[in-house]
Amino acid sequence: MSTQTSTPSSAGKTGFQLPKWAGSFGFQIIAALIVGLGLGLLAKYTGSTKASPNALGATLQTIGSSYVSLLQTAVVPLIFTAVVSSISNLRQVSNAARLAWNTLLWFAITSLIAVLIGIGLGVLLQPGANTGISGDAKYTGKSGDWWAFLVGLFPKNFLGLGASSTVAESGAVTTSISFNVLQILVIAIAVGVAALKVGKAAEPFLNLNASALAVIQKVLWWIIRIAPLGTVGLIGNAVAVYGWDTIGSLGKFTVAIYAGLVLVLFVVYPILVRSHGLSIKQYFSGVWPAVQLAFVSRSSVGTLPLTQRVTERSLGVPRAYASFAVPLGATTKMDGCAAIYPAISAIFVAQFFGIQLDFSQYLLIALVSVLGSAATAGTTGAVVMLTLTLSTLGLPLAGVGLLLAIDPILDMGRTAVNVAGQALVPTIVAKRQGILDETLYNAPRNGTPFVEEESGSVADNGESATDGTTADTAPRELQDAKA
């Protein structure tokens, strides 16, 4: 009988099995990119347009937008519960202020490097000279505002929600609800600090918050598992709506932007990783799932759950620190959108309109790019960052209208670099402070950024429990850092 009972199991093992690499998250995303590209081209060449999509185009658009909505829906509770939990875990840590200061310092350092590369490419490649396009484009959208950062710090309500209405030509009024990530971050920090001040009376709240965080992470796991499906819709819709032919009129500008993004992602970041004694291969294999999702979703905020997961699980940054640094980076750390892009774009506009920039104006571009990402955190968008730069330099805002046609194509690369930097800085700071889990950083990758957790486990990075509580290991890791 024992021989017979083992037969089905043995038979199952001898059956056809997919190669191990075929089940990896990276392979699934790449396969989805190829499928989405094919479906997008099919939709485009069967008559689908942005104004009037055909059945295939509408399907791709619905799938892509629905997936981004799922990601963004999970961001609000994730930021709140994760930041409150991270602050509570820092109760016994004496160097929390140093971690925060070093994080902001490295945000600025990497942004300065990125903007200098952007200025160099703009001067070298002359993207605004001899474009052969008309200069009658006008921009009437929202301009960057230096007060946006200060205004954005003050929440208008507990959830950081805002509403805006638009009136169509037919008279129909459409109201949309959005959330301000910066305000949510401020609210979470305030609640976390208040919980620490309250002391023992806040323990039930902190336990509830830890349980809520565990539930949210499980939901995020389900959402990320269907990322390949969302990728098909997102990349397919981008190709169907914009196509690659729109690059033609601004080819030199597009090449300059992507050259800058490639230099930062594949030259600057590896140098920083290696200079801190870490493996470049392990950094890229760890962060790549988030970079891939950022490229297709074009949303640092939408990718935030995955960015935080890979920073903790693959790169070995303690959760207590990562849950603070990564959400902060998603709102203020944008090497693609707020450094490379506005630098090259401002030079493009100046060259296009025949305006000569002097050395002081180049310095001003660097200053605006380093500080501007924080100033525009409450208003979102690389376009707002560009208008802020142009306004500060006194350049024509009409130049923005020239670049809007290819913005979605550029935004894919910009967002990918943003996310790579948002994971890099916490890793560097954790390494410098002696709290990086290098065993986890150097561990072999299993092809997926997530490992299905056992029932009852609510924590990562060694934080697991069977009684529904979160093991408090992160503070011990952080206490080992040098004061």
Q: What is the pLDDT of residue 358?
A: 84
The per-residue pLDDT of the chain, averaged, comes to 76
Backbone angles phi, psi at 165, to 5 degrees: -125, 145
Mean per-residue pLDDT, 304-308? 85
Q: What is the pLDDT of residue 392?
A: 76
Please give the share of the chain, as a percent, with pLDDT higher than 70: 71
Q: What is the pLDDT of residue 67?
A: 83
Given a cut of 80, whether residue 482 has pLDDT beyond it is no
Q: Which residue has better confidence, 291 or 241?
A: 291
Beta bridge partners of 463: none
- Least confident among 54-68, 79-93, 266-280: 79-93
105: confidence class by pLDDT, cuts 50, 70, 90: very high
The pair of three-digit structure tokens given for residue 152, joined into one six-digit string: 């954005």
Sign of the dihedral defined by the CA atoms of residues 291, 296, 299, 303, in that order? negative
Q: How far apart are CA 55 and CA 60, in angstroms?
A: 9
How do residues 322-379 score in pLDDT, each as one tens digit? Answer: 878 888 788 778 888 888 998 999 998 888 888 888 888 888 888 887 776 655 544 4
How do residues 371-406 score in pLDDT, each as one tens digit? Answer: 766 555 444 457 767 877 887 777 877 777 778 777
Q: What is the pLDDT of residue 176?
A: 59
Length of the chain: 483
Q: What is the pLDDT of residue 221?
A: 74
Sign of the dihedral defined by the CA atoms of residues 238, 243, 248, 251, in that order? positive
Q: What residue type is 237 in one-letter code?
A: N
472: confidence class by pLDDT, cuts 50, 70, 90: very low
Q: Which residue has better confidence, 135 or 328?
A: 328
- Least confident among 110-119, 323-332, 419-428, 437-446: 323-332
Given a cut of 60, whether residue 456 has pLDDT beyond it is no
Enumerate residues 6+ apart whose C-beta is below 8 A from 303.
71, 290, 293, 294, 297, 330, 415, 419
Q: What is the pLDDT of residue 17?
A: 62
Given a cut of 90, whether residue 431 has pLDDT beyond it is yes
Q: What is the pLDDT of residue 171?
A: 61
- Least confident among 56-70, 176-190, 194-208, 287-301: 176-190
How do residues 138-157 score in pLDDT, each as one tens digit? Answer: 545 554 555 555 666 677 76
Q: Are 221 and 450 in contact (CB under 8 A)?
A: yes
Highest mean pLDDT among 24-28, 126-130, 265-269: 265-269
- Apex 298 CA angle, 35 and 416, nearest 5: 90
